[in-house]
Amino acid sequence: MSHLPDQPDPWAFLQSHTSARIARGRTGHSLPTRALLDFQLDHARARDAVYSELERDALLAQLQTVQLPVLPLHSRAADRQQYLQRPDLGRKLNEQSLLHLSGLEDLTGVDLSIVIVDGLSATAINRHAGTVVSRLAEEVRALGWSLAPLCLVEQGRVAIGDEIAHALQAETVVVLIGERPGLTSPDSMGAYLTFHPQPGLTDESRNCISNIRPEGFPYEAAVQKLLYLLTEMKTRRLSGVLLKDEFDDNLLTP
């Protein structure tokens, strides 16, 4: 449908229902200048998120409310450039971190390990991880579950959580990680859950909650979903494709 540049786009009402790029108008065969500049800005924010860094001091301050030790760890990827070029190095801990874990005392097995990983958007972790970890820890403690020390990992991928939780003798693990930035979501955080974590597991062994952020899957709803999946894992002794998610999302509290 063609229309003059100064006329409103007839599909503009759809913008109130989605953050997707729809009904941005056009000038000739191109986007209007405003829409093009908005696209370029969002693209720059997504690129910046990939190269963002953990705000460690601010995170540690937020995590004090959880009243657990926080272990700083690092993958085998030495820096961001290597992390992006070698995903395999982001899935394993470096030698210093392995020694750190092996030197811990009184590891007799715990119900849950929470691992916080920068992933492809440290921006997401900086903004959202503190609130979600605090609420999740509060809920699982109310169930009488024991918690391993929190782990804060730099240059990490999802699978690194399995190695960490296995070393901590945890029955289940939740990995909170910055997801690949989108043009409308440079700060999207994901949660990956695994029962009986151990090195070498692949994605079919994990359950995932994606797009955790106020504009996506809100904190409280995400914590409710996490708690449901964790209790199902503990009851059924499995996770991943073997665990069917039967939770009624209509019961979620935003």
State the sign of the Cα–Cα–Cα–Cα dihedral 236, 223, 119, 213.
positive
- Rounded to a whole number of angstroms, the CA Rg of the chain reads 20
The region, left, alpha or beta by phi > 0 then psi within -120 to 50, assigned to residue 95 is: alpha
Q: pLDDT tens digit string along 34-51? A: 878 887 888 898 888 899
Those residues with Cβ within 8 angstroms of residue 73's Cβ, 6 or more apart along the chain or in another chain = 93, 97, 100, 101, 151, 152, 153, 154, 156, 164
Phi, psi of 210 (to 5 degrees): -115, 165
This prediction's pTM? 0.88
What mean pLDDT is reported for the chain?
90
Tally Cβ neighbours within 10 Å of residue 186: 26
Binding positions for adenosylcob(III)alamin: 158, 179, 208
Phi, psi of 144 (to 5 degrees): 85, 15
Give the pLDDT confidence score for residue 254 in this predicted structure. 66
Do 225 and 211 touch, CB atoms closer than 8 A? no
Nearest to 27 by CA among 10, 55, 58, 4: 4
Domains of the chain, CATH where assigned: 56-251 (3.40.50.11240)
Strand locations in 150-238 (E): 150-154, 170-178, 189-195, 206-212
> Euclidean distance between the first and final Cα of the chain, in Å?
38
Q: Can you tell me the mean pLDDT for 131-147? A: 97
Higher-pLDDT residue of 247, 155:
155
Q: pLDDT tens digit string along 147-196? A: 999 999 999 999 999 999 999 999 999 999 999 988 888 999 999 999 99
- What percent of the chain is helix, strand and coil (3-state, nearest 5)? 45, 20, 40
Nearest to 151 by CA among 138, 168, 139: 168
Do 118 and 156 touch, CB atoms closer than 8 A? yes
CA–CA gap between residue 252 and residue 145 (Å, rounded): 22
CA–CA gap between residue 225 and residue 223 (Å, rounded): 5
Helices (H), 95-186: 95-102, 122-142, 160-167
Give the pLDDT confidence score for residue 1 in this predicted structure. 46
Position 108: which residue type?
T
Higher-pLDDT residue of 41, 146:
146
Query: CA 84, 90, 94: angle at the middle one, nearest 5?
Result: 130
Binding positions: 158, 179, 208
SS3 state at 189: strand
Do 195 and 138 touch, CB atoms closer than 8 A? no
Tally Cβ neighbours within 10 Å of residue 53: 12
